[in-house]
Amino acid sequence: MDSPIIAKAPVRTASLGKREQTKVQNREIILDAARKVFGELGFGATTVRDIIRATPLASGTFYNYFKSKEEVFQAIQDEMALTLRPRLRDERLKAKTVEEFISSTFRSFMEFVAEDHVSVRTIRHTADTTRVRIHTPEIVAGFEELREDIEKAIAQGLFPPVDADYLMASIVGVAFEVADRMMTREHRDPAAAAAFATALFVGGIRMLPHADHPAAKTGTA
Amino acid sequence: MDSPIIAKAPVRTASLGKREQTKVQNREIILDAARKVFGELGFGATTVRDIIRATPLASGTFYNYFKSKEEVFQAIQDEMALTLRPRLRDERLKAKTVEEFISSTFRSFMEFVAEDHVSVRTIRHTADTTRVRIHTPEIVAGFEELREDIEKAIAQGLFPPVDADYLMASIVGVAFEVADRMMTREHRDPAAAAAFATALFVGGIRMLPHADHPAAKTGTA
DNA sequence: ACGATTGGTGACGGGTCGTCAATTTCCGGT
DNA sequence: ACCGGAAATTGACGACCCGTCACCAATCGT
C-alpha cells in the first residue's frame, strides 16, 4: 500500500480515501456557502438553490448531504453548540458558589457570542424583523444539561430548592436576549453584559419561592 | 338613506357600505384561515396557497390584503400585541413600588398567554423545533415602552440607576421563555410563573451594577 | 337606472422543489 | 496495469408555488 515513493501523497487530509475526503469537503463547502447566503438574504428568503448556486456543485448533490435548508441551518447551529456546550459544562462543574455557577455561564456565553460574531451575526442577526430559532437536539441537550446541573447544585445545597426548570428557562432567556442587545451596541462589552446578568440572578435567586418538590405547584393566589 | 323599514339591515356591522363590509370580512376570513393553517403546518411549512385554500377566496384576492405570509403572521401578532400592550402599560403606571411594577408586568403577560392559548399555541408552539419570532413594529414599540417606563421609574427613584436596556431585555427574555415552559406543563399556573419571575427580578435588581450614565460602559476586566 | 369604479378571479410566466436515470469517479481484486 | 462493481455527481423533469394582470362582476354615486 504505502509505496516507498511518498511524493504524491494527497495533501494530508487525515489520509482518508479520496471518496471520504471529498465527502467531508463537499459538506464543508455547502455549509460555508450556506453561512454566506443566510447572512446575505436571511434564513427565510434563502432557497436551497441559492445555496448550491454559491457552490460549484449540482443541485442534486445538495440532497446527498442535507434534506432541506432547515437541516443545513441546524448543522450550523449544532456546530456552535458543540463548541460552547462542553465549555459551559466544565466551568459550571468547577463552581463552588452560586456566584461562580452563574457568572461562569454568562461569561462564557457572552464571550462566545461576541467573538464568533461572524457566525452569530450571520445567523441570528439575519434579516430585519424575523428571528428564527431552531431547537436543535444539541441545543435542547444543552438546556437540559443546564437544568440538570441546577438540580445537582440544589441537591448539594449550593442553590436553594427553586424550580429548576423555570430557573433554566430564565437563564436561557436572559442570555439570548441580553446577548442580542449587546451585539447591537457600538461598544460591545461581553464582560459587562455577563456582569449584569450575573448580578440579576445572584441577587434574585435568594428571593425565589422555594419549591419543595421538583414539580412545583403553588395555589392560584 | 335610513329607510323606515329596518328589517333587512345587514346584521349590524357598524353599518358600513357593502364594499367596506366585505373588505373587513375577507380580511378576517384570511386571518382565521391563517391561524388555523399555521397551527397545523407550522409557519415555515405553510404557503400562501395553503391559506387561501382554507378559504372560499381566489389566490389573487389574498394579495389585495397582504403581501406575503410573513405579513399575515405580523398582523396576527400585532392583534395580540394590541390587546396586551395597553394593559401592561396601565398597570405599570399605577405601580408605586418595584415589586408592583415587576409583578404586574409578569402577571398580565402570563395570564394573557395562558388564556389566549388558542392563538398563542397556534402561533408560537407551531412546528416541532423551529421557533419563529417576528419583531412587529407593534411588538418592538411594546419593548421600547417598557424601557421608557423603566427609565421613568429610575428618574423617579423607584428603581436604582441600572442599565434600562439590559433590564428590559432581561424581562422580555424571562417572560417569553418562562411562558413557553409554563405552556408545556400539565398544570398551567400563570400566577406561579409570574411569582417566580417577579421574585427573580425583585431580588436581583438590588444587586445590579449601577450605571451612572445611560450609556453603560464598564472596562474590559 | 346607468355609467364609473372598485375589487374578485384564475390563468400565466418565472422560479423552486425533490427525484432519478445516466454518467463519471473511485476502489479493490486479479 | 487493468477491469468490473459500487458510490457519488449531474442536470433535466414533473409538480407545485409565487406574484401579476387582463378580465369580469358587484357596488356606488348620481
Per-residue pLDDT tens digits for B91-139: 999 999 999 999 999 999 999 999 887 666 666 655 567 788 888 999 9
pLDDT value for A128: 62
The stretch A201-207 carries a mean pLDDT of: 79
Residue A201, pLDDT above cutoff 50: yes
pLDDT value at B141 more than 70: yes
Cell of A5: 515513493
User: Residue B180: its chain A contacts at CB < 8 A?
Assistant: 169
What is the fold, at CATH topology level, of the domain defined by B73-205? Tetracycline Repressor; domain 2 (1.10.357)
Alpha-carbon distance of A200 to A190, in angstroms, equals 15
CATH tag, B18-66:
1.10.10
Domain residue ranges of chain A, discontinuous segments joined by +: 18-65, 70-205
B158 pLDDT more than 60: yes
B33/B139 Cα distance (integer angstroms): 23
Nucleotides of C under 7 A from a protein CB: 6-11, 15-21, 25-28
* Cα R_g (chain A), whole angstroms: 22
Instruction: Say if domain A70-205 classifies as CATH 1.10.357.10.
Output: yes
C-alpha–C-alpha distance, residues A215 and A163, integer Å: 8
Checking phi first, is residue A15 left (phi over 0); if not, alpha (psi -120 to 50) or beta? left
Res. A206: pLDDT tops 50: yes
**pLDDT digit string (tens) for A102-123?**
999 999 999 999 988 766 666 6
From the alpha carbon of B60, which nucleotide's C1' atom is closest?
A: C9
Predicted confidence at residue A214, as pLDDT, reads 47
The 10s digit of each residue's pLDDT in B47-94 is 999 999 999 999 999 999 999 999 999 999 999 999 999 999 999 999
**pLDDT the model gives residue B203:** 85
User: Cβ separation of A217 and B181 shorter than 8 Å?
Assistant: no
Q: For A18-65, CATH number? A: 1.10.10
**Between residues A107 and B219, the one the model is more confident about:** A107
Give first-to-last CA distance, chain B, whole Å. 76
pLDDT at B210 over 90: no
| B136-143: long-range contacts, CB 8 A cutoff, minimum separation 24 | B136/A129, B136/B74, B136/B77, B136/B78, B136/B81, B137/B78, B138/B77, B138/B78, B138/B81, B138/B82, B138/B85, B139/B77, B139/B78, B139/B81, B140/A129, B141/B85, B142/B81, B142/B84, B142/B85, B142/B88, B143/B168, B143/B172
Say if residue A136's pLDDT is above 80: yes
Q: Which three cell numbers stand for residue B54?
A: 382554507
Chain A residue closest in CA terms to B202: A204
What are the tens digits of pLDDT across the range A66-92?
999 999 999 999 999 999 999 999 999
What does strand D contact on the protein, if contact means CB under 7 A?
Answer: A 19, 22-23, 26, 56-61, 64; B 17-20, 22, 47-50, 59-60, 63, 67-69
pLDDT at A116: 82
Q: Which residues of B touch A196 (CB under 8 A)?
A: 162-163, 166, 170, 208-209
A31 pLDDT above the threshold of 80? yes
Nearest Cβ partner for A169 among B136, B181, B201? B181
pLDDT band at A27; cut points 50, 70, 90:
very high
**pLDDT given for residue A4 in this prediction:** 43
